[in-house]
């Protein structure tokens, strides 16, 4: 059975460039979350999608960050004009409808901005 | 901001010993979850305890929750080398969007010495 997948697993980019990170949730999971984890830190909530409802964007750190979820499945997190402080592991998680319970995490994308 | 704070930040014990990690949080919660993270990548859900529960067991794991003290503990009995990982508590609040927003602590780095 497929779990949550993310791509790429690693991304190195130059400061000022845009990057796109992809997340494929578990089939049938309507809730999808993005988190960011800086080195040695806990997880920072970024954004949440639930079905066709408006996403909860309250965790996005700046307007350079955006995310979309097409067809209620695959999600893309876009970071424009990357900065060195954007370097982190970006984790995606999905859960069953309503999200009240266990979240299943992908392996993450390690982003390095040089 | 971090809702949960784990204690200790790092713990090293001999294989076969029991490991205890603690988590404190600040606000009222719906439930509390513990996750394990290997090698700084994806998290794996271990156990969920609801706010009206006081203790829960799963295999070698035992979790307690004291809502009056806003604290939880995770006990791993008869530790194994494979238990070496970072352990995070995550508290769940219902956000204004109706979703379960997980707020993670900074984690406890557990090392099991063979």
Q: What is the CATH number of the domain that holds B38?
A: 2.60.40.10
Mean pLDDT over all residues of chain A?
91
- Domain extent, residue B49, equals 5-113
What is the percent of chain A with per-residue pLDDT over 90, rounded to a whole number? Answer: 68
- Give the total number of structural domains in chain B: 1
Integer CA distances (angstroms), A21 to A67, B21, B59, B70, B90, in order: 9, 33, 36, 36, 24
Chain B residue with CA closest to A49: the answer is B99
pLDDT in tens, B67-99: 999 999 999 999 999 999 999 999 887 666 666
Please report residues of B whose CB lies closer than 8 A to that of A29: none
Confidence of residue B2 (pLDDT cuts 50, 70, 90): very low
Longest dimension (CA), chain B: 47
Q: Which of B45, B99, B103 sits opposite A48 (nearest CB)?
A: B99
Residues in A 28-47 with any Cβ partner in B closer than 8 A: 31, 33, 35, 37, 39-43, 45
Q: Which residue has the higher pLDDT, A89 or B3?
A: A89
User: Taking CB atoms and an 8 Å limit, are B41 and A102 in contact across chains?
Assistant: no
How many H-runs (helices) and E-runs (strands) does chain B carry?
0, 11
User: Taking CB atoms and an 8 Å limit, are B88 and A56 in contact across chains?
Assistant: no
Query: Once rounded to an integer, what is the mean pLDDT over residues A60-80?
Result: 94
Confidence of residue B6 (pLDDT cuts 50, 70, 90): confident
Give yes or no for residue A56 having a pLDDT over 70: yes
In 3D space, the residue among A88, A106, A89 whose CA is nearest the CA of residue A6 turns out to be A106
CATH class name, domain A1-9+26-98: mainly beta
Query: Once rounded to an integer, what is the mean pLDDT over residues A63-80?
Result: 94
Residue spans of alpha helices (H) in B39-112: none
Q: Which of A43, A99, A105 sits opposite B100 (nearest CB)?
A: A99
pLDDT in tens, B7-38: 899 999 999 999 999 999 988 888 899 999 98
Q: Are B11 and B112 in contact (CB under 8 A)?
A: no
């Amino acid at each position: 059975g497929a779990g949550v997948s993310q791509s790429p697993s690693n991304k190195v980019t130059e400061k000022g460039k845009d990057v796109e990170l992809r997340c494929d949730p578990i089939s049938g999971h309507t809730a999808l979350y993005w988190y960011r984890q800086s080195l040695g830190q806990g997880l920072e909530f970024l954004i949440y999608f639930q079905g066709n409802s408006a996403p909860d964007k309250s965790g996005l750190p700046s307007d350079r960050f955006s995310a979309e979820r097409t067809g209620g499945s695959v999600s893309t997190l876009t970071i424009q004009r990357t900065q060195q402080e954007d370097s982190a592991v970006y984790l995606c998680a999905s859960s069953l409808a309503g999200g009240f319970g266990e979240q299943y995490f992908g392996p993450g994308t390690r982003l390095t901005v040089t | 901001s971090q809702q949960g704070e784990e204690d200790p930040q790092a713990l090293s014990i001999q294989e076969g010993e029991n490991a205890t990690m603690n988590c404190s949080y600040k606000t009222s919660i719906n439930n509390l979850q513990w996750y394990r993270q290997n090698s700084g990548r994806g998290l794996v859900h271990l156990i969920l305890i609801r706010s009206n529960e006081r203790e829960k067991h799963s295999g070698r794991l035992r979790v307690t929750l004291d809502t009056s003290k806003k604290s939880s503990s995770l006990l791993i009995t008869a530790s194994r080398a494979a238990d070496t990982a970072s352990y995070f508590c995550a508290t769940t609040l219902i956000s204004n969007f109706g979703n379960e927003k997980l707020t993670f602590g900074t984690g406890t780095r557990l090392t099991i010495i063979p």
